[in-house]
A and B are shown apart, each in its own frame.
Chain A
Amino acid sequence: MEHIKTIETRNLCDSAKNGGCGECQTSCQSACKTSCGIANQKCESTKESK
């Protein structure tokens, strides 16, 4: 019996390997301007293995 369904997600531990490129959007530059959320941003790394 399947008790757990694991949703496909980006593995954050693996994402540490390439060091971060900084190309992604600045946190506050979109719709909010009054709080900080980064979860809704896209990764803009052009490396094949992000």
Chain B
Amino acid sequence: MIHQYKLGSYNIVLDVCSGAVHAVDEVAYEIIALFENHSRETVVERVGQMFAGREDITAEDINECYEQVRSLKDAGKLFAPDTFEPMAGKLKEKTAGVVKALCLHVAHTCNLNCSYCFASQGKYHGDRAVMSFEVGKQALDFLVANSGSRKNLEVDFFGGEPLMNFQVVKDLVAYARSIEKQHNKNFRFTLTTNGVLVDDDVIEFANRECSNVVLSLDGRKEIHDRYRVDYAGKGSWDKIVPKFQKFVEARQGKEYYMRGTFTHANPDFLKDIQQMLDLGFTELSMEPVVSAPGDPGALTEEDLPIVLNQYEKLAELMLQRRKEGRPFTFYHYMIDLTGGPCIYKRISGCGSGTEYMAVTPWGDLYPCHQFVGEEAFKLGNIWEGVTNPNVQAQFAACNVYAHPECRDCWARLYCSGGCAANAYHSTGSVTGVYEYGCKLFRKRMECAIMVAVDKALGE
């Protein structure tokens, strides 16, 4: 399978199964489109007709180009077949029972009252709660005990707002550091925060201990303050922006992301990206809101063409700023064409419910943070482990080939079948497909590959 598209000044051909990416001229673009379904004579004749008025394109050019396409096919870099399906469950089979990442819900409470929050203001449709040190310690012990030979263990401090339980966060990190060497493990901590409680102590701690911090900022003040308000209804932009600027400056190059959410209120989210850049932030992420259909903030069909256009404009802005020596990163356009994930990772699904789990403040395990509060998806708890194997089996069976719709999609090796929570919430099944999200994802991958092509050719 191939996918070909035109974006920016490039004609791009992606060979889906080999992962090869080609920047081609207009003749090659047309030849490739016809190549698999027509004889050489037909291809040459039709392409000749397409460029009949062009003196710079001769029959010799077209024949020569045809040969180049055929060579690439022979080399397995065009029209490579999908031979991966038998491997789809292998990685999960091999690593069955191994847990390598936990999302620790250290605080099911929040000091902001954002109506678009998928976690219902941090409460996850339940009661407010904070995780005790004892529960957190048991979660870390559970992780170490179930991580097999896996060295790198990931723990995200999440909420709600995790800094509302900062002492426990600090104590858990200290505990993890005290046990990692003896178990030959390396903990990687991340922290996701709304910024309200960020202070010097938090900054110093996070810069010492957290490999990544995710800082929630929606961009323009009026956009941010529309949803991200305190319990008195007051916007949080003025309060958090200076804190985030100080935080990021102090990270001295360590990883961080400014993470925004865009909704029906700002499908023109590039203005929010621009605002983040104007504030001095360069590592950016902007996510479409996850909300129930009919929610006033939910993205609509009318928003879709606007959002798709914004993604293209964002890619153009990245190229422009790179040329100007002012590059920035957009999380979804980071694509490592030479060192990215292997095919096993690409077809295995996201790992929720198997290698990745979320832990509630009281120690229950769920397949991921987005399933917390959905009682039917409770996997077990950190003392007894997985006690509901039927739920885990659903997630173990989740891979790119488990989604019938994905078989014909060129982007399937970039999303791995997509987000199980999005699939469940939009279709009622974890092996369903959240088609709206797929449309956005495909556009993001087209843009990401174009940005990568521009960079590669520029070098």
Give the interface of A toward B (CB within 8 A): 1, 3-13, 15-16, 18-20, 22-45, 50
Q: Secondary structure at chain B's binding surface: helix, strand, loop or mixed?
A: mixed
Shortest A7–chain B CB gap in Å is 4
Cα distance, A38 to B448, chains bound together (Å): 12
Whether A8 and B154, one on each chain, are in contact in the complex, defined by CB atoms closer than 8 angstroms, is: no
A36 touches B337 (CB 8 A): no
B18 touches A39 (CB 8 A): no
Please choose the segment from B35-43, B94-102, B304-312, B313-321 that sits at the chain A interface, where 4 or more of its residues have CB less than 8 A away.
B94-102
Q: Categorize the interface residue count of chain B.
A: 35 or more
Q: Across the interface, do B416 and A12 meet the contact criterion of CB distance under 8 Å? A: no
Closest to B415 in A: A36
Known: A23-B150, A40-B331. A6 touches B342 (CB 8 A): no
Partner of B419, one of A9, A15, A34: A34
Sample of 5 more A-B contacts, CB < 8 Å, known A9-B337, A26-B100: A7-B22, A15-B343, A20-B342, A39-B448, A41-B345
CB distance from B92 to the nearest CB of A (A): 9
Q: How far is the CB of B369 from chain A (nearest CB, A)?
A: 7
Q: A16-B87, A28-B350, A40-B336 are in contact. Are A7 and B341 (CB under 8 A)?
A: no
Known: A8-B456, A10-B337, A30-B257. A37 touches B22 (CB 8 A): no
Question: Complex: how many Å from CA A22 to CA B152?
Answer: 10
Take A7-B337, A36-B418, A40-B336 as given contacts and tell me if A22 and B22 are in contact as well, using a CB distance cutoff of 8 Å.
no
Q: Which residues, 403 to 459 on B, are CB-close (under 8 Å) to A?
A: 413-422, 437, 441, 444-445, 448, 452-453, 456-457
Q: What are the residues of chain B within 8 A of A26 when measuring CB–CB?
A: 100-101, 154, 350-351, 355-356
Q: List 7 A-B contacts (CB under 8 A).
A: A4-B24, A12-B18, A13-B80, A24-B345, A28-B352, A30-B257, A31-B259
In the complex, chain B residues whose CB is within 8 Å of the CB of A28: 103, 350-352, 356, 368-369, 419
346-385 of chain B: CB within 8 A of chain A: 346, 348-352, 355-356, 368-370
Q: B7 on the interface (CB 8 Å rule)?
A: no
Across the interface, which residues of A come within 8 angstroms of B339, CB to CB?
Answer: 10, 42-43
Decide: A40 and B335 in contact? CB cutoff 8 A. Answer: yes
Let me know if A13 and B341 touch, CB within 8 A: no
Report which of A3, A12, A40 forms a contact with B24, defined as CB distance below 8 A.
Answer: A3
State the CA gap A15–B336 with chains docked (Å): 14
B285 close to A (CB within 8 Å): yes
Q: Is B72 an interface residue (CB 8 A)?
A: yes
What is the CA–CA distance of A25 and B188 in the complex, to the nearest angstrom?
Answer: 10
CB distance from A31 to the nearest CB of B (A): 4
Chain A positions within 8 Å of B344 at CB level: 15-16, 19-20
Contact A12 B21, beta carbon cutoff 8 Å: no
Q: B416: which A residues are within 8 A, CB to CB? A: 27, 36, 38
Partner of A11, one of B19, B61, B83: B19
- Considering the complex, which residues of chain B in the window 191-213 have a beta carbon less than 8 Å from any beta carbon of chain A? 192, 212
Among the listed B19, B158, B285, B418, which residue makes an inter-chain contact with A9, where contact means beta carbons less than 8 Å apart?
Answer: B19
Residues of A within 8 A of B334 (CB): 40
Is there an interface contact between A13 and B76, defined as CB atoms closer than 8 Å?
yes
Per-position binary interface string of chain B over residues 12-28, scored 1 when its CB falls under 8 Å from any chain A CB and 0 otherwise: 00000111111111011
Q: How far is the CA of A39 from the CA of B285 in the complex (A)?
A: 15
Closest 10 pairs between A and B when the two form their complex, measured CB to CB: A20-B344, A15-B342, A40-B334, A26-B101, A31-B257, A12-B19, A27-B350, A31-B285, A3-B28, A39-B414
B340 at the interface (CB under 8 A from A): yes
Interface presence of B175 (CB below 8 A): no
Q: Which of A7, A12, A33, A40 contacts B332 (CB 8 A)?
A: A40
Alpha-carbon distance between A35 and B120 when the two chains are bound, in angstroms:
18
Across-interface contacts of A24 in B (CB, < 8 A): 341, 345
Question: CA A39 – CA B200 in complex, angstroms?
Answer: 35
A-contact bits for B47-70, CB 8 A (1 contact / 0 none): 000000000000001001100110
Complex alpha-carbon distance, A3 and B24, angstroms: 6
Is A22 in contact with B355, judged by CB distance below 8 angstroms?
A: yes
In the complex, chain A residues whose CB is within 8 Å of the CB of B45: none
| Nearest-Cβ distance from residue A23 to partner chain B, whole angstroms | 6
- B288: chain A residues at CB < 8 Å are 34-35
A7-B337, A28-B350 as given contacts; A36 in contact with B417, CB under 8 Å: yes
| Chain A residues, Cβ within 8 Å of B83 | 13
- CB neighbours of A7 from chain B (8 A): 20-23, 337, 452-453, 456-457
Contact partners of A33 in chain B: CB under 8 A: 158, 192, 214, 287, 369-370
Contact status A4-B80, CB under 8 Å = no
Shortest distance in angstroms between A42's beta carbon and chain B's nearest beta carbon?
6
